[in-house]
Amino acid sequence: MKAKVQSIASLPEQCQSLAAYSLGLGSCYMNQPHWVTDKEATRQAMIGFGMHEDEQIYGGLIVGYAMSTTDAMPARKEGRVCILQN
């Protein structure tokens, strides 16, 4: 069941990532923090931040200013895509 929930959890993350990008921020999705919440000390810390006892974390988003930037993607060249039809 964790795999299905994890896949669904990544959907709102994508929206948040795009929103961060629109504000000039970088982001990185973490898809395995449920391993971390299996540790009692970490679980208690997350409960201190407002997580309920019966909840699990299936994804996380790190947001911040990137240390470097990348160049924009070059424009696509016409005729470079081949569409196969049956």
pLDDT score recorded for residue 9? 67
pLDDT score recorded for residue 72? 79
What's the CA gap between 72 and 4, in Å, rounded? 34
pLDDT score recorded for residue 77? 80
pLDDT in tens, 3-58: 555 567 677 888 999 999 999 898 988 876 667 777 888 888 888 999 898 888 77
Is this prediction's pTM over 0.85? no
- Say which residue the tokens 């009692």 belong to: 40
**Residue 57: half-sphere exposure toward Cβ, Cα within 13 Å:** 24
pLDDT score recorded for residue 32? 67
Contacts of 9 (CB under 8 A, 6+ apart): 31, 58, 59
pLDDT score recorded for residue 66? 81
pLDDT in tens, 50-81: 989 888 877 788 999 988 777 777 887 877 77
